[in-house]
Amino acid sequence: MRTLCLILFLLLSESINNGSLAQKKGNTITREEINRMSPAQRDSLYLRRRLDKGKLRLQNAKKITNKNSVTTLDLSYASLKEIPDFVYEFKNLKTLNLSNNQIIKIPRKLNKLKKLKHLDLSANKLANQKIIIRRMRRVSSLSLEENNLSLLPKPFRKFRRLQTLNLSNNKFIQIPTNVARFKKLKSLYLNKNCLVLDGQSFKKFKPIKKLQMKECDLNYITDNFWQLTNLEDLQLNGNQIKIIPKGISQLTNLRSISFYENKVQEIPLELLQLKKLKIIDLYFNKIRNIPTEISQLDSLEVLYLSFNDIFEVPETLGEINSLKELYLHHNHLRELPEQLQNLNNLKILHLNDNLLDDWPPVVLKLDKLEELSISHNNLQDIPDDVLDIKNLKSIYLNGNPLYEEGEDYKNIKDVFEERGVNVLWPAKEEDQEDLAQ
């Protein structure tokens, strides 16, 4: 769906510039035609559009006369096999994007770009190829994503000021030991590598503050992992982890943690000891209970617990006054505890796709609430008190069998309209029939 939307966006952008939706060999490509395409066909169309735009960027870059004024150069999707010589004439370049090409070698001349800070070489063909780089003194961000790498090429070790390194979508099975050479490294991305953490020492990577290991086929976390005591942001999305180990309590600097789409069955008390946590993402797991001790997280601002098997919410959740966003949709909730009215800073609350038969009274007392999703429950009316939520900007009511007759319902609709509140109402029966056809 995301790919389809992006294709439509690109095509519609062209329609504005060219006066038509899009041209393919003289014929207009319609939305209906795109909808009928297979995923492979849509991907092919998407790639062709990207390559066309990449070639145009390359042509425009060649025509630039005042090269000293340019600090950012995007030559992605330009079908390059090597870095063009004219690139080295941009003496003040700080950001160079060479991603999604077919570059097989990095020459010594790259050192001419003495002000370069951000270098993107992702999706090229750098594995086992010729790379000649002297020490790059200023480069702080490097992406080598999707290069079929199993080892970090030695020349890149000379990027001594590197702070961000992206090694995602390669063939690493462990964190390359020579990453430890980057003494200033703060952010490391290892997504989509088939990692085996057993036997890996993490102590040498202690300076890292942000670590992503999404979709790495991880089944568990080894004890050595807790040596990363400076971690502030840990993303382990899309793995097969069932248990969050007790050792996580050692990561006392964590501010954000995500186990999105794993197989976690319970929230350990040790996780709730991390006082600096601001964001917890446990979407798409198998959690049934929220511990009452969750109130210990007195700095928590965002809590994602949607798509689990939760049947009730503990009263103590209402003690987290710092909470601004709470996502509980797609669970099995029938009611909410009264104590949640104490969430004085809550701005976003998602309760859709639960088992609510009645409006939770607590919702009507959340004065700072700006967005409420309570769609796809079994609500048959909407209380007048909902108008007392003065800061409400969006409310989603679709998928409920609301009784739409009477002055009360009409008055609520009129007031919402007057305030400019974005409302998604339940579709009328005739509208539902039209959608089904």
CATH number, domain containing residue 87: 3.80.10.10
How many CB atoms are closer than 10 A to CB 38?
8
Span 22-27, mean pLDDT? 45
- Kindly report the pTM of this predicted structure: 0.89
Domain count for the chain, please give it. 1
What span, in angstroms and rounded, lies between the C-alpha atoms of 265 and 243? Answer: 7
**3-class DSSP state of 157:** helix
Q: How far is CA 152 from the centre of its chain?
A: 26
User: Cβ contacts of residue 387 below 8 Å, gap of 6+?
Assistant: 412, 415
**What's the domain range around 182?**
70-194
Q: What local confidence, expressed as pLDDT, does residue 417 receive?
A: 92
Identify whether 329 is part of a domain. Answer: no
Confidence of residue 28 (pLDDT cuts 50, 70, 90): low
**Residue 127 pLDDT > 50:** yes
Span 44-68, mean pLDDT? 93
Q: What local confidence, expressed as pLDDT, does residue 156 receive?
A: 86
Span 169-186, mean pLDDT? 94
Locus of tokens 């294709």: 7
With contact defined as beta carbons under 8 Å apart, do 124 and 102 qualify? yes
Span 39-66, mean pLDDT? 91
Identify whether 141 is part of a domain. Answer: yes
Confidence of residue 361 (pLDDT cuts 50, 70, 90): very high
Span 242-259, mean pLDDT? 97
How many CB atoms are closer than 10 A to CB 401?
11
**3-class DSSP state of 204:** helix
Identify whether 37 is part of a domain. Answer: no
How many CB atoms are closer than 10 A to CB 85?
9
Confidence of residue 335 (pLDDT cuts 50, 70, 90): very high
Identify whether 225 is part of a domain. Answer: no
Identify whether 415 is part of a domain. Answer: no
How many CB atoms are closer than 10 A to CB 45?
20
Identify whether 388 is part of a domain. Answer: no
**Residue 382 pLDDT > 50:** yes
Question: Quick one: residue 93, left, alpha or beta (phi over 0 = left, psi -120 to 50 = alpha)?
Answer: beta
Identify whether 121 is part of a domain. Answer: yes
State the greatest distance between any 2 C-alpha atoms of the chain, in Å, as a whole number: 77
What span, in angstroms and rounded, lies between the C-alpha atoms of 398 and 278? Answer: 31
**Residue 400 pLDDT > 80:** yes
Confidence of residue 405 (pLDDT cuts 50, 70, 90): low
Q: Which of 24-38, 133-147, 203-217 has the lowest mean pLDDT?
A: 24-38
Identify whether 25 is part of a domain. Answer: no
Q: What local confidence, expressed as pLDDT, does residue 274 receive?
A: 98
Span 271-282, mean pLDDT? 98
**Per-chain mean pLDDT for the chain:** 89
What span, in angstroms and rounded, lies between the C-alpha atoms of 221 and 313? Answer: 28
Q: What local confidence, expressed as pLDDT, does residue 136 receive?
A: 78
Q: What local confidence, expressed as pLDDT, does residue 139 receive?
A: 94
Q: What local confidence, expressed as pLDDT, does residue 406 receive?
A: 66
Span 37-41, mean pLDDT? 85
Smallest Cα–Cα separation from 284: which of 330, 246, 219, 351?
Answer: 330
The type of residue at 294 is I
Q: What local confidence, expressed as pLDDT, does residue 319 receive?
A: 98
